[in-house]
Structure 1
């Protein structure tokens, strides 16, 4: 229509030119279609400006600057045009407006990467992701990041835009290697934070332009702490379950072996008494009945140990208190009085026991197992010594065996080692290594009892937070020991005889 205006005059008519100095001017009369076109053009311009303002208001600082430059550039042309249209001025300054627009648009393109950044659906997609996302350009400048990544970098989502990424990435990871990759990569790293250590899965993807050249990189961080903890817990549970299954098999074998021998004796002698009571003498009958009684009590003791071991598997929370160790040792000696008299054993105990923390019933079982083993495997007659050694306080050790015991104890601070020394044949290093394994036995020892008893001792010690062990050598006797936490200076020592 503008080209055909001389034919119909719908845009301009009555156009006349004049000259003022070196400037040329002209006057005209607007046609009807000029007003329609002007309203249409200005409306589109205003609507576009409104959308740009709304976008800039909700976006990052870099995008706001881009939008402002676009609006100002458009206004640089629009204002002179409006002035000329409304005949406020007789001269056209539109060429100056185009110069201002060119300067502002060049600033937006070359300084603020106008044509390189096209954020699409950020609020509904990227901003709501739990994974951190970071976009850097070829000069390692931050082009974009979402709130999750800003939280990881401990900064605002707007501040880093356009700045070098190296000033924001935390130490402790191979960021330069990862962001310098030419093929993409995936790795994991752990970062210490206010809430403890967090583990992240890191992926870097290459960003390419239309000519397949690398124009930037996308870094994605995914927090896998909970997943890793769950995997570790599952693996630990599987290992524990496997260990318990193996322990259960060994437990069943040990219990069957322990119960089979006394049960065989009871069944054999009772069958002999039932079928041939009149054929045996009174003294033989008495011997058989004593054997049945003794083996029955042995079975009862084994069953009690099994029940105790089962209870230890279930009880996780117990209240520990200061122990009267002298009273506990005296009760153990009373329990084993018949065995002590039968073996004609000599037992030496200290006059004063230190105060330790524990659970009296469990500690009594440890002493009973250790003392019972010392009576069974000691010399002829057994000479047994019960004692203690304070750990971690510079107390000198009385002999080399006790020093060797102290060397085996981890974290000795504020602990007390209690021990039982016998004068038996001693144990080899291989036998010592097998002693406290669940439900294992020493084949060359004729008297049985190590397997289940020491398994109970080990489990009790684990529940009490202590350690157990043995110091021995062939021909030099053995020292079986366990540790308990000391009461502390406020508890003092309990003097017991």
Structure 2
């Protein structure tokens, strides 16, 4: 067929492009176990198919011939854009998980549009043939349609994404790696630029496949001059050798293929460790790694016992699988023995201590607090970091804490001692002794260190001791003072009875002795009832008042319970409290006195219809020896006060409804009954 063929020198360049692309593709597929090699192989193969199809298209001059190879070219180019993106992502380690599903999603639109190109004569969605044109080669001419531009735009988006990843690698890389990544970036970019020029420019000849010769040459330089498909050589020389951590590379059989000087120093392997099983060199570490799979990175720690059995090494181990698919593993080991020993000693001493250690900045913000604080505040130590320490103490003590903290901050290396109260949720108030030291100028501390110690028990003992001493003093006062007068009376009347034989002196002596017995009983009650109440029970107020009323000779007196309720108290001592208040009402109000008892919002009251107590004497009635009744011991209301104080309550005197005395006890948790109960 004369005149059916044509020749042009550009065909030689196309042949070079085909040879180079094919060679790079074959080399890449042979090294497909290396990361990114398979994608590079498909990229080069697609370039080679494109160049070959374009060459075959150009050598013929008939419309049917050129149209055949034009459609075939699209079959090859359908793999080019996805292969470029996958290769770029793997090469730069873009942290993009390249899965078959992702590759399929990227490739599916291109495959569909390529199918339209191959079958274009049936529908002409991609282009319309307008004829042949000789400039200087005879080339097929087309008018492009929407399908063709859809294929171009989608392919460009994928290619631009890959080029962007390569450009980032060029910027981030150093020395040899920069030249390597630059060769790849330039090779891809010039091919893309030439295609953009052909699509949107006035060129009749598509120079894209021709430029593939230059691109393939640059890829060849990256492959053979800068070891593209080898492990990164620069990292081994500049990083691994200088690492403090032990670095070991294992193959799929767990044999050592590489290790750095730090690993040799740490493990002290006899002879050359290369090629030996990792389990034979470091059995303890290898045993830990056997518990994990090979598909993901994992961290663990290993304690190795020395040969003498005395010292131990604490090793932090990280195993990361090599991503080339050959089953290799990189193991890094850090000797953290000294740091772990110091940390554990510190943690043990702090976490198991009963004291609370707190480190504050110069504003009072908590930078660290030991775990025992959770038992005190109900909030974990981690949650308290960043809070202000002043908010942890009771509001009444905050001014003292702030003043003490200010004093500490103003004087470096100073030490201050203080006491504060803290009210835990749903618990009684705790007293803490704080010792603060200013270490703001101390390197690696740079804070105010405060040690808190719970001294609640000690304070309680001190209060008990004080109360005991006070009771002893009162008892001694009763014995030494109040018993002296009736004792003298009894002794004098006994002597007179012996001298005169008059029985009236004997009766006087008996009355004095009876008086002494009353004083002694009251003194014993004072000593016994002043002890702190530790065990309580829920008691109904009306019941205990009725029991106290029945225990006292009340004659014509009347009792009215105006409101009833329950409270937690020592039942026996609470009954004695009401017995003493009832006796006090009878002694000062007469046999026909009326006594009223009821509850308040935070306690209870007992009032009578007697003469009452003058305002200026109301504080004195709870003192020992004070009585407005000539026959009284002056201890009845003291006993009442002691019982109230032993429960942690308060008591004071007011005017009653009818002018009598009203004793009000507060600080009591009372459950009030709405129904009022009256009893006579």
TM-score (normalised: structure 2)? 0.37
Larger radius of gyration: 2
